[in-house]
Structure 1
Amino acid sequence: MAMLTLGIFSFADKQTALAAEPTSFSVAPVENKDAISQSGYFDLRLKPDTDSAVTIKITNQAKTTGKFVINLNEAYTSSNGVIAYDQKTPKLGATLEQSFGELVAGTSKKTVTIAAGKTRQVSFKLQMPDQAFRGQVMGGLQVVRESDQESGSITDRYSVAVPVVIRQTKNQLKGQVNLVKASYRLENGVGVINLKTQNTAPWVLPSVQVTGNVIRRSDNEVVTTLKKREMALAPNSQFSLPVQVKKALAAGDYTLHYTAQASATNQVWHFNKDFTVKANQVTQNSQTPGTWWRENWLWLTGLVIVAIAAGLKLANMKKRREK
């Protein structure tokens, strides 16, 4: 199960790390009879037409009473290439057959108040469909502490997530990467290649790395390379991965030669995708940050010197008139 854990906690650990000091609360799963293993998250195997409860314990480590909101959310892959649980209704992948939200029986949101130094348990019920589903269905329990201190309309909020993974058989599948589309845009003067990516299988895919070469089709020259490491993809998820390029691309036709590799499962995928950079994408903010200043520093410096000299001259003239 180490392979699965790596993918699930690529995001959850970051959430916990952020929450460690400022939130002053901790969250832990309560042992579940249907768990395949007790791994710091819920890894459940449930038969069709059965139910189970997922229970967490929240400890308020602050010196004051705290209010906590717990949401049972769908897992998705964020644009950073990590598994996230912080959206109630994320955009789901087109290949999804069984959503996590459909397995939640009753409410998917609860609010509790916990006194300082106390611990409280919160449970949610899961109900399996009559027909078995393939692979894994994945979600997460997101715990948010709402501070009593507000600044204007903004409330201080921190969160911790506990993943929930459900399967119905012992069979283990493998994730499948698909590159749907490559496109290009400028963002604050920086060239960004947008990779619309899918995990088309109902199984989490950890430890994914993507690399690629961008070829200018007019002369087959490699104009830029791209690389993104240590990603994790939720089952049946779709996301847009933005990858910055070292130099903004000129208008023209290009081909991306793309390779995705999942080291934990020894899988490799290769794709070739054509895309076009239009003239208006180049002329609008075409220079990268700092380029304009580097190219124009000389005349800008001269302009500043002239302005200072003019200011001093006016000041001297004013003094002479006053005398």
Structure 2
Amino acid sequence: MQRGLKILFAVLVAMLAWGAQLASASASSVGYTVKAELPSDQLSKQVSYFDLHTQPGQQQQLKVVISNTSNTTQRFAVSVNQAVTNDNGVIDYSQSDPKLDPTLQVGMKELFTKASGQRVTVPANAQKTVVLTLQMPEKTVRGTLLGGVYVAQLQGKAAKPKVPISIRNAFAYAIGVELREGALVKPNLVLHQVRATQLNRRNFITANLQNPEPGIMSGLKVNAQVMKAKQSQLQPLISQQQSHMGMAPNSNFNFAIPWGNKDLPAGQYILHLTAQAGKQNWQFTRNFTIAKKTVKRLNKTVITPTKRPNYWLYLVLGLIIVALLAVIGYLIYRNRQQRKSLQ
């Protein structure tokens, strides 16, 4: 039996080594790194992004070093993007032309005189420093401005890509840029439109949440319940809870509450939504209506959600099969040895 266990152990070790080799190959395939050259007026030396306390009218050069660790020449697109909040409740630096929140007074792109649309070529096993010129407005800016230097690896030999960077790039890095001139401003949360919509052909109720202040929100937790209106006992029809979210200053996103597998009926509903971020708490109640024409349009294209494959189950089953084969092999081997000893 000991020999069977040794065989099983050897198989498991081989499988783990193969998985580690794949992970290492995937990590090294990027072929480049990006690093911020932190200036002398950096507020926090413990972070790897630009964290600056600026002055009105200040001009400053920010430097980003691109290191090509591959054996071939690579091309990159460098831009400065506004930080927004995507619909997963994550601060996003990757969007080159996002829809900006109406409360945003000063956009990050406006502050850089030379940034958007730069194309940089870096020879094999070499590095290049990209210089970005920051120009602050003459008038004092309230709160925090947030954005990012976005470096995207370009594919193809075309000098000027005819399609957006987000389609052509293979990998990308984002280095945050956080600027402030005065005191920190607390974020806030406002509930706007609540409506029925469809995401990836699945029905949802979405609640648009806005941070109208120039302050960064972190650790956001939202709990939402949708109920049928005009009922004696208000029982939640659907609910959704999500935590560990964040919001960029002066941004908004659509918090999605999945309807499930049932058809979306028309009628009047009530949304109860509570949120918490640090010591701040918010409570919202909103009546909304789902019109019959909306139901007809959405239910026409909705699909039943498919269950995601359980990869852990497949792994366990695979290990059980390997163990059984090892035991069977050992039993066959022992049976042959016993026969030889009897001859």
TM bucket, shorter chain: 0.7 to 0.9
Q: Give the equivalent residue in structure 2 for 1:37.
A: 44
Match among 243, 263, 266 for residue 251 of structure 1: 266
Q: Pairwise mapping of residues 205-284 of structure 1 onto structure 2 (< 5 A)?
A: 205-219=217-231, 220-248=234-262, 249-262=264-277, 265-283=278-296, 284=299
Larger Rg: 2
How far is the alpha carbon of 1:117 from its aligned partner? 1.4
CA contact (8 A) 1:149 1:155 kept: no
Report the TM-score when normalising by structure 2: 0.72
| AA matched with 1:202 | P
Which string of whole-angstrom CA distances, capped at 9 and with x for unpartnered residues, describes residues 89-145 of structure 1? 211111112221221123433211111111111110111111111111111100011
Alignment partners' CA distance in 2, 1:143 and 1:287: 37
Match among 167, 171, 181 for residue 168 of structure 1: 181
- Distance change (3 Å), C-alpha of 1:136 and 1:119: same
- Distance change (3 Å), C-alpha of 1:116 and 1:177: same
The yes-or-no answer on 1:289 pairing with 2:304 is: yes
CA contact (8 A) 2:78 2:115 kept: no
SS at match of 1:214: strand
The yes-or-no answer on 1:141 pairing with 2:141 is: no
Alignment partners' CA distance in 2, 1:158 and 1:188: 24
Alignment partners' CA distance in 2, 1:276 and 1:78: 25
Which string of whole-angstrom CA distances, capped at 9 and with x for unpartnered residues, describes residues 229-259 of structure 1? 2211110012223332335442210010001
CA contact (8 A) 1:259 1:268 kept: yes
The yes-or-no answer on 1:73 pairing with 2:73 is: no
Q: Give the equivalent residue in structure 2 for 1:114.
A: 122
CA contact (8 A) 1:224 1:247 kept: no
Q: Give the equivalent residue in structure 2 for 1:178.
A: 190
**Structure 1, 83-92 or 141-150: larger mean CA deviation:** 141-150
**Which runs of no fewer than 5 residues in structure 1 stay unpaired?**
1-18, 292-323
Q: Give the equivalent residue in structure 2 for 1:204.
A: 216
| AA matched with 1:218 | K
CA contact (8 A) 2:82 2:108 kept: yes
Alignment partners' CA distance in 1, 2:72 and 2:48: 27
> What value does the CA root-mean-square deviation take over the aligned residues?
2.3
Higher percent of residues as helix: 2
CA contact (8 A) 1:137 1:202 kept: yes
Q: Give the equivalent residue in structure 1 for 2:172.
A: 159
CA contact (8 A) 1:140 1:161 kept: yes
Higher percent of residues as strand: 1
Identity %: 30
Alignment partners' CA distance in 2, 1:102 and 1:289: 45
- Distance change (3 Å), C-alpha of 1:261 and 1:157: same
How far is the alpha carbon of 1:149 from its aligned partner? 7.7
| AA matched with 2:196 | Y
How far is the alpha carbon of 1:189 from its aligned partner? 5.8
How far is the alpha carbon of 1:211 from its aligned partner? 0.6
- Distance change (3 Å), C-alpha of 1:143 and 1:246: same
CA contact (8 A) 2:37 2:62 kept: yes
Q: Give the equivalent residue in structure 2 for 1:23.
A: 30
The yes-or-no answer on 1:57 pairing with 2:65 is: yes
Q: Give the equivalent residue in structure 1 for 2:207.
A: 195
| AA matched with 1:198 | Q
SS at match of 2:99: coil
Which string of whole-angstrom CA distances, capped at 9 and with x for unpartnered residues, describes residues 137-194 of structure 1? 11110001112389xx87452211001010012x222111111121112446633011
Which string of whole-angstrom CA distances, capped at 9 and with x for unpartnered residues, describes residues 249-271 of structure 1? 42210010001111xx3111111
Report the TM-score when normalising by structure 1: 0.76
SS at match of 2:218: strand
CA contact (8 A) 2:64 2:130 kept: yes
Alignment partners' CA distance in 1, 2:200 and 2:179: 42
